[in-house]
């Protein structure tokens, strides 16, 4: 089968490799669609993430869906041809976090497209059947692949305890911020503001349903948030990882509000006034990946409550993976995808 392997920074090669055999508890998925995530671009551009370095060829891509091609001997409930979304992180299932349903925090998780665990820019993936989710007829595999970033949005909204009538500020209108916004709306948020520093992202946020799209380059964002959202946002979801954006998030929350940090910024240390946090009774929380969110993501797609297709700017074939990764690096692109098997 063909697999796109990252061999060095900026160097991804299409190679013929052995097709995997599913273990008894696995299914073999013929991959059809894979989203390109910012972390794929980071690995591609730098060949490393913090202290994790790509030393062996690594297949990128962790937002994937496809069709069942083979079923392991102990697996029940799947048949060849079933269309499925593949959840990319398989935890140990034994630790305290796994046993209490918080498997996103498992220290021994194998997560696709990180050193040691190949991702989905390849024709077939053998994957544990309990981390593979059937798609209803009305949900395409292209949309199903994007259950992954939707799940990140759902986790953020859960962490923010977004409820009916809440006002929400989303900082950063990339795919994660945009989907977090859609998930917040689905959870009942009544008024949503979004801020970004790229015009096209602000326009896309508006067309995706933001009530207020605030240009982060033009003056005091927090003040404008307070004007629009009656004194501040009940919940702020930071989805950029940029230092000034984190400051905006902390400054824009209403009293008794919750700030959810989703953006990953290894070097974004920001000064925090603990005095303001205490007096405002503010919760600041991290939100990491997702746990048990895929079923809800699929339900939102099935109900038509998230038009995830509107996020997608292009879908290139696997044979053009290098060009696809380059195209996706353009800041105006919201979501690029790779179609596997369609040449």
Give me the least distance between CB of 35 and ligand NAD, in Å please. 10
Q: Kindly state the DSSP code that residue 264 receives in the 8-state scheme.
A: -
**Do 43 and 321 touch, CB atoms closer than 8 A?**
no
User: Which of 1, 20, 39, 95 forms a contact with ligand THR (CB under 6 A)?
Assistant: 39
Task: For residue 269, count other CB atoms closer than 10 A to its CB.
Answer: 9
Burial of 31 (0-12, 13-18, 19+ CB in 10 A): buried
Residue numbers 213-232 binding ligand NAD by CB under 6 A: 216
Of 37 and 170, nearer to ligand THR (C-beta) is 37
- Give the distance between the most distant pair of CA atoms in the chain: 61
User: Which of 185, 204, 212, 289 forms a contact with ligand THR (CB under 6 A)?
Assistant: 289
Q: Which residue, 228, 275, 218, 287, is CA-closest to 252? A: 228
Give me the least distance between CB of 140 and ligand NAD, in Å please. 21
Give me the least distance between CB of 114 and ligand THR, in Å please. 7
Query: Which residue do the tokens 């209490």 mark?
Result: 100
User: Which of 4, 86, 90, 173 forms a contact with ligand NAD (CB under 6 A)?
Assistant: 173
Three-class HEC string of 103-125: HHHCCCCEECCECCECCCCECEE
Residue numbers 110-169 binding ligand THR by CB under 6 A: 148, 152
Site size for ligand THR (CB under 6 A): 5
Q: Which residue, 56, 62, 70, is CA-closest to 24? A: 70
By CB under 6 A, is residue 197 in contact with ligand NAD?
yes
Please choose, out of 19-27, 43-51, 77-85, 238-246, the segment that lies near ligand NAD by the rule CB under 6 A: 238-246
Give me the least distance between CB of 148 and ligand THR, in Å please. 6
Site string (286-305) toward ligand NAD, x via CB under 6 A: -xxx----------------
**Do 268 and 241 touch, CB atoms closer than 8 A?**
yes
Of 128 and 174, nearer to ligand NAD (C-beta) is 174
Task: For residue 156, count other CB atoms closer than 10 A to its CB.
Answer: 30
By CB under 6 A, is residue 198 in contact with ligand NAD?
yes
**Do 110 and 89 touch, CB atoms closer than 8 A?**
yes
b/e sequence 43-73, b meaning 16+ C-beta within 10 Å: bbeebeeeeeebeebbbbbbbbbbbbbbbbe
Query: Which residue do the tokens 């994660």 mark?
Result: 176
Site size for ligand NAD (CB under 6 A): 29
By CB under 6 A, is residue 171 in contact with ligand NAD?
yes
Q: Which residue, 71, 90, 88, 86, is CA-closest to 33? A: 86
Please choose, out of 80-88, 239-247, 277-285, 298-306, the segment that lies near ligand NAD by the rule CB under 6 A: 239-247
By CB under 6 A, is residue 172 in contact with ligand NAD?
yes
Of 59 and 71, nearer to ligand THR (C-beta) is 59
By CB under 6 A, is residue 328 in contact with ligand NAD?
no
* Footprint on this chain of ligand THR (rule: CB under 6 A): 37, 39, 148, 152, 289
* Footprint on this chain of ligand NAD (rule: CB under 6 A): 37-39, 152, 171-177, 195-198, 201, 216, 239-242, 244-245, 262-264, 287-289
């Amino acid at each position: 089968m063909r697999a796109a392997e990252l061999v060095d920074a900026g160097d991804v090669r299409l190679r013929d490799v052995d097709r995997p055999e599913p273990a008894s508890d696995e299914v073999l998925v013929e991959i059809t669609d894979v989203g390109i995530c910012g972390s794929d671009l980071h690995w591609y551009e730098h060949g490393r993430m913090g202290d994790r370095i790509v030393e062996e060829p690594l297949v990128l891509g962790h937002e994937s869906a496809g069709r069942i091609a083979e079923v392991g001997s102990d697996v029940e409930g799947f048949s060849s041809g079933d269309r499925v979304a593949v959840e990319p992180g398989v935890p140990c299932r034994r630790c305290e976090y796994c046993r209490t349903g918080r498997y996103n925090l498992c220290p021994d998780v194998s997560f696709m497209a990180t050193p040691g665990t190949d991702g989905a820019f390849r024709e077939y993936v053998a994957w544990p059947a309990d981390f593979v989710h059937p798609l209803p007829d009305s949900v395409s595999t292209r949309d199903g692949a994007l259950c992954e970033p939707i799940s990140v949005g759902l986790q953020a909204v859960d962490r923010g305890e977004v409820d009916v009538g809440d006002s929400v500020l989303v900082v950063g209108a990339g795919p994660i911020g945009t989907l977090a916004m859609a998930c917040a709306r689905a959870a009942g948020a009544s008024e949503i503001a979004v801020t970004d520093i790229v015009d096209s992202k602000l326009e896309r946020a508006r067309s995706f349903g933001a009530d207020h799209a605030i240009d982060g380059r033009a003056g005091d964002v927090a003040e404008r948030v307070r004007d629009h959202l009656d004194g501040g946002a009940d919940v702020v979801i930071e989805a950029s990882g940029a230092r000034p954006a984190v400051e905006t998030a902390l400054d824009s929350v209403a009293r008794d509000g919750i700030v959810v940090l989703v953006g990953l910024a290894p070097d974004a240390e920001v000064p925090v006034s603990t005095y303001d946090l205490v007096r405002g009774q503010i919760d600041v929380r991290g939100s990491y990946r997702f746990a048990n969110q895929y079923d809800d993501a699929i339900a939102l797609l099935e109900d038509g409550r998230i038009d995830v297709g509107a996020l997608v700017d292009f879908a290139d074939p696997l044979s053009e993976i290098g060009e696809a990764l380059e195209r996706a690096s353009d800041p105006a692109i919201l979501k690029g995808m790779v179609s596997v098997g369609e040449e």
